[in-house]
Amino acid sequence: SKIATDIFKQWFYEHLEYPFPSDELKASFADRTGLSYTQVSTWFINARKR
């Protein structure tokens, strides 16, 4: 969703030096967005590839 993407992008661009969220942070993102932990992890993997 757009809300989830906005949250992830904001965090990602604020942490470009080390764009690897902790497991706890990914779990928090999953809770906040309604996505699964795996979906959150996949989003960050794909974002780092781009």
Tens of pLDDT, residues 34-50: 999 999 999 999 999 98
Arithmetic mean of pLDDT, 25-29? 97
We report the CATH number of the domain holding residue 18 as 1.10.10.60
pLDDT digits (tens, 9 = 90+) for 2-17: 999 999 999 999 999 9
Q: Which domain holds residue 15?
A: 2-49
Pairwise CA distance, residues 33 & 9, whole Å: 13
CB 29 within 8 A of CB 21: yes
Whole-structure pTM value: 0.88
Domain count, the chain: 1
